[in-house]
Amino acid sequence: MMLTARQIAAVVGPALDEDAPWGDLTSNSFIPASARATAALVSRVDGILSGVSVFAAAFALTDPACEVVIDVPDGTRIRLGDTVATVRGPARAVLTAERVGLNLTQRMSGIATLTRRYVDAVAGTRARIADTRKTTPGLRALERQAVRDGGGHNHRFSLSDAVMLKDNHLGVITADGTGLTEALRRAMTRLPHTTHVEVEVDRVDQIEPVLAAGVDTIMLDNFSLDDLRRGVALVGDRATVEASGGVSLESVRAIAETGVDVISVGALTHSAPSLDLGLDLVVDAH
């Protein structure tokens, strides 16, 4: 699953409209229409790059006369002072698109950088790092791409992609007194045979009733390390085991060492700081 040009335009176009709904008053008033500029996208810190295609789209959608040369591909580890892309074109357009291009690329690179830290922390274990739906509304496609650029994996993209029953769902489907296994089995008969089913549990004693229903993945939510180990042993090879809740850079290695298959981390998208990138501009001679 890769970020498409259509997905990029669907985000960048409205962002440009929001930032300059009736044009860029400053640039259009003070910058000559004939002026041209060259600008370098430069990293101010070390990190993982993500979003250069989004950066390029901000300029292309502002003025097709802008040319963006990408020097470094997404997913690359960049260092302080690295030039990752160069923009050439009408100075008005370069100045108008600058903030939107930077904002989105900084956001994506920050997510990729944080994701890589988690991925590096569990290196050598079987666990894969995955994101969650705790994304910025409207930016999910970009943020999910940034997780992939950082070496992580995507969970279900939306509520339409797969079944995930959490504690509130389980409370509703068993409210009539139906046992958990039977309630799950009965509902699963209404699904297409290709649908992946995941169920979240928050106690060890819920594991067997859930597995008996034949689910594909079981999520152990906010389990202690000892209970995670017990859960992994109970599940065996009957389902994929996912751990979630209370995951941090300090705790993720120990969680991975319990033997879980997946660790989902909401912080990848809801707590990642933007990576400091800057646009260094030079006015071209007439």
Is residue 134 annotated as part of the catalytic site, yes or no?
yes
Q: Where are the alpha helices (DSSP H) in the chain?
A: 5-19, 25-30, 52-62, 91-121, 140-149, 167-173, 180-188, 207-212, 225-235, 252-256, 267-270
Average confidence (pLDDT) over 268-283: 95
Are 206 and 95 in a shared domain? no
Are 230 and 195 in a shared domain? yes
Q: Evaluate whether 141 touches 7 at the Cβ level (below 8 Å).
A: yes
Q: Report pLDDT digits (tens) over 142-199.
A: 999 999 999 999 999 999 999 999 999 999 999 999 999 999 999 999 999 999 999 9
Are 106 and 138 in a shared domain? no
Average confidence (pLDDT) over 197-209: 96
Is residue 99 annotated as part of the catalytic site, yes or no?
yes
Average pLDDT, the chain: 96
Q: Report pLDDT digits (tens) over 208-232.
A: 999 999 999 999 999 999 999 999 9
pLDDT at 285: 63
Residue tagged active-site, from 24, 131, 198, 200:
200
Comparing CA positions, the residue from 226, 233, 229, 260 lying closest to residue 244 is: 260
Are 97 and 162 in a shared domain? no
Is residue 198 annotated as part of the catalytic site, yes or no?
no
**Assigned token pair, 47:** 């990190």
Are 82 and 135 in a shared domain? no
Residue tagged active-site, from 19, 63, 182, 221:
221
Residue tagged active-site, from 88, 99, 229, 238:
99
Banded model confidence at residue 6, pLDDT cuts 50, 70, 90? very high
Q: Which residues pair with 279 in a beta bridge?
A: 41
Are 160 and 185 in a shared domain? yes
Banded model confidence at residue 286, pLDDT cuts 50, 70, 90? low
Is residue 216 annotated as part of the catalytic site, yes or no?
no
Q: Report pLDDT digits (tens) over 86-117.
A: 999 999 999 999 999 999 999 999 999 999 99
Is residue 221 annotated as part of the catalytic site, yes or no?
yes
CATH number, domain with residue 176? 3.20.20.70
Q: Count up the domains in the chain and report the number.
A: 2
Domain that holds residue 148: 124-270
Banded model confidence at residue 235, pLDDT cuts 50, 70, 90? very high
Which pairing describes strands 262-264 and 240-244: parallel, antiparallel, or unpaired? parallel
Q: Report pLDDT digits (tens) over 7-19.
A: 999 999 999 999 9
pLDDT at 112: 98
Residue tagged active-site, from 36, 134, 156, 238:
134
Banded model confidence at residue 1, pLDDT cuts 50, 70, 90? low
- Cβ contacts of residue 106 below 8 Å, gap of 6+? 274, 275, 276, 277
**Assigned token pair, 146:** 């940034």
Are 147 and 244 in a shared domain? yes
Average confidence (pLDDT) over 36-40: 97
CATH number, domain with residue 70? 3.90.1170.20
Are 81 and 169 in a shared domain? no
Crossing angle of the two packed helices 5-19 and 91-121, in degrees rounded to 10:
120
Residue tagged active-site, from 133, 156, 166, 185:
166
Are 99 and 10 in a shared domain? yes
Are 84 and 172 in a shared domain? no
Are 25 and 71 in a shared domain? yes
- Cβ contacts of residue 258 below 8 Å, gap of 6+? 225, 228, 229, 232, 243
Are 65 and 162 in a shared domain? no
Say what the pTM is: 0.95
